[in-house]
Structure 1
């Protein structure tokens, strides 16, 4: 077995080369062993776990590993894309032990109060708003015009804010992650004002929403704790869900197993989502940990205080016994896209529900949608943590607004069908919908 040594060259997890072919990076990392040296940001080297079994061992071992990033935070370049995602905050991601359990229970209990049917209906409603904005154009960038916006619009409603704040929230976060420092500052300021206004509104008058439930939870979160959990949900929940929607759409529009008509019996949306979670994890590399003491872990000596990172993407695609030759694992939920153990993503079910509803709505009303470019020409943003498409151009038969309001759109009055029913799908080249 090969183990990492100080003289090994770290493999970059950022830059154009990694974005274009991340699997090559993971192959180079696996050559070092289950734990490898990776450069997560310019000059910032971490121990990266690329092996599936090793990842599970680490994620379940809270005695050896801490989620507190403060011991090595000063090493992270402030200008890097991982500076903000690794910055310690008083939220559930960076908490350990009883404090982690205290904060996590608030999130899981409050998410458990959500009615799945209502969330699904809410997602459909916001999806219709977005779809109606481009349905008559015949072309769309499914990243910028759909996947990136929809989760935030849904989260905005779930936390109890009026619909008009949804697009504003999209603009704020887009500015914060952009390359313009001045605009990023403005976005951060606006987002801070949004969070303050949200808390103050619900503290003054409760509603049937997540913010009110966070405030009233028996664990008694103070204002800072409640606001930090809201910030976490909006920040950590949005981009992975958007990436999941987009990455699944790629499969729905390019893979023969999903690409078909509404009546061909093609594989359903959930299979495509599972496929995307296994092979194109929305969060590629994250789950930062700190070694509590000097430890030898799967053959690698890791000193106390050293940063350790999990590669969900590499672990999911590393060799597995019993995996079919084509790598297709429909129905298999053992992927690490949502991490595992005590720190497994508490919003997993919510993210899957939103993503599934988003894709079903798209497939129902635009069943003849196809990619506007060959799948090989799709590109991804440079970045260590997320696997994010730069764009997903698609085309379809333009639709006209339905004046009667029975459905969002219709091809013509003769083609509309009965009130409230989606129109009939074309018989060739259509995107498979859910059963």
Structure 2
């Protein structure tokens, strides 16, 4: 157990999560963190931005289920953070469920969940299949493809835009802004592009409502105004494009690089859903997030966390906490959904069943189309994109027999 201390570590004592070395092998970094710091680790999200990274599963669940001591409102914190800070757009306050608590959280979340739950799952599966067919048609005769840019991203982007009633032109700007924010490269400009695009979508659906999530939220008894609507859409796109793309890609990588796992999948000993859960345990697409900001110094197992400083949950590290997996046989996590990839407590992802369906359908469709697909490069040459929050490959090049 760590000893109580009111003196936060200095910048030189913190472990940077924004460097390429961390992105290349985060699990080795988590192991070193655990040996040195235990469950609560002093980290740096970007230069000069300190935080506490929670890598203990039990500690994470306690924090996620304690919104009074660990609310998600960052307004005091961001007063000291310049708008040019590359991680601020991913962390700053917005009038939405993700960054609210109490009555406001209920109001925003009820509008979101009601609008998402109204999506017909059968129609959603058909939509994904159609979009997947269109994506596959672009590289079927080439015999090679990048599954990030040519398959997973187009599916996540087109499916989500259809569900939200977003035209292609607005959706392209939203995707551009969201990519800049997740990559923490020119994030301030990305935030501006994203803000204007979602505002345009709100204006469009105010004047032309349709059968989509955006229009349903506008008609919800929560009576969200235009600014609130725009920020709900930012949250939905943030949770829908990048993480969903990474979930599809990371699962395909697992299938392509783990021969035993691939053999079990093709022999029907595992299902694609099992493959997804394995990846959600080991390499969840949003590896470090679920950020809270304690309004007062908070004691967790003898460690005093500073007030108004970010507390970040490492879903990737918590899922692989030795205390959680000790004594389990290999492969025991397949089909087990105790992982934190969807968060926990009041901020649990309201669209996890939809994300499962989209990813499962996309991957199954790809495997059916190309049962002999292989990596186009050695696995060791695959590169992970730097960033403190996501677990994302730059590309996933594959080869397959060319067909008409």
Task: Tell me if TM exceeds 0.5.
Answer: yes
| Correspondence for 1:221 among 219, 224, 228 | 224
How many Å apart are 1:324 and its aligned residue? 2.5
Q: Distance in 2 between matches of 1:236 and 1:178?
A: 14
C-alpha distance in 2 between matches for 1:261 and 1:305: 47
CA positional deviation for 1:25: 1.8
1:111 lines up with 2:116 in the alignment: yes
Contact kept in structure 2, 1:316 and 1:335, CA below 8 Å: yes
* TM-fit CA distance, 1:371: 1.0
Q: Are 1:270 and 2:273 matched, yes or no?
A: yes
Q: Which 4+ stretches in 1 moved above 6 angstroms?
A: none
Q: Which has the higher contact order (CA 8 A, sep 6+)?
A: 2
Measured against aligned partners, the alpha-carbon deviations of 1:259-287 in whole angstroms (never above 9, x if no partner) come to 24996335221111000000001111111
1:374 counterpart residue number: 378
* Separation (CA, whole Å) in 1 of partners of 2:115 and 2:308: 34
Q: Compared with structure 1, are the counterparts of its residues 254 and 77 closer, same or farther at alpha carbon in structure 2 (3 Å cutoff)?
A: farther
Mapped contact 1:3–1:35 kept (Cα < 8 A): no
1:83-98 matches, cutoff 5 A: 83-98=88-103
Cα contact 2:115–2:216 (8 A) shared by 1: yes
| 1:382-418 residue CA offsets vs partner (Å, 9 max, x unmatched) | 1100001011110001122xxxxxxxxxxxxxxxxxx
Matched ranges for 1:66-81 at <5 A: 66-76=71-81, 78-81=83-86
- CA gap of 1:198–1:256, structure 2 versus 1, over 3 A, is same
Provide Cα deviations, 1:222-281, integer angstroms capped at 9, x if missing partner. Answer: 121122111210123211111100000011212234424996335221111000000001
Q: How far 1:372 moved relative to its partner?
A: 1.2
1:353 counterpart residue number: 357
Matched-pair contact (CA < 8 Å) for 1:293–1:303: yes
Q: Which residue of 2 aligns with 1:410?
A: none
Residue 296 of structure 2: aligned partner: 293
Once the 2 structures are TM-superposed, how far is the Cα of residue 335 of structure 1 from its aligned partner?
A: 0.2
Give the corresponding residue for 1:308. Answer: 311
User: Which residue does 2:401 correspond to in 1?
Assistant: 397
* Greater Rg over alpha carbons, structure: 1
Quote the Cα distance in structure 1 between the aligned partners of 2:27 and 2:264: 32
Alpha-carbon deviations, 1:278-313, whole Å to 9, x = none?
000111111111112222112201232232111111
Partner of 2:251: 248
Equivalences, count: 398
The equivalent of 2:147 in structure 1 is 142
Change (3 A) 1:329 1:206: same
Unaligned runs of 5+ in 1: 401-435
Segment of structure 1 superposing worse, 320-329 or 117-126: 320-329
Aligned pair 1:154/2:159, yes or no? Answer: yes
Q: Is the 1:12–1:25 Cα contact (8 Å) retained in structure 2?
A: no
Structure 1: how far apart are the matches of 2:157 and 2:84? 25
Cα separation, 2, equivalents of 1:318 and 1:384: 19
Q: Which moved more, 1:273-282 or 1:363-372?
A: 363-372
Instruction: Name the CA shift for 1:221/1:169 in 2 (closer, same or farther; >3 Å).
Output: closer
Q: Does 1:56 align with 2:61?
A: yes
Question: Matched residue of 2:267: which SS?
Answer: coil
State the TM-score, normalized to the length of structure 2: 0.91
Conserved 8 A contact 1:4-1:35? no
In structure 1, the partner of 2:285 is 282
SS in 2 for 1:71: helix
Q: Which deviates more from structure 2 when the two are superposed, residues 77-86 or residues 345-354?
A: 77-86
Give 1:99 deviation, angstroms. Answer: 0.4
In structure 2, relative to structure 1, the CA distance for the partners of 1:220 and 1:331 (3 Å cut) is same
**Structure with greater helix percent:** 2
Cα distance in 2 for residues equivalent to 1:302 and 1:161: 42
- Whether 1:329 aligns to 2:324 is no
Coordinate RMSD, CA, aligned: 2.4
Aligned match of 1:423: none
Distance 1:288 1:263 in 2: 38
Give structure 2 stretches of 5+ with no counterpart.
none
Residue 174 of structure 1: how far off its partner (Å): 4.0
Which one of the candidate residues 98, 105, 111 is aligned to 1:100? Answer: 105
Q: How far off its partner does 1:130 sit?
A: 1.3
Single out whichever of 298-307 and 358-367 deviates more from structure 2: 298-307
- Matches of 1:290 and 1:95, distance apart in 2: 11
Does the 8 Å contact 1:13/1:39 carry over to 2? yes
202-211 or 278-287, larger mean C-alpha shift: 202-211
Distance 1:129 1:233, change over 3 A: same
- Does 1:342 pair with 2:346? yes
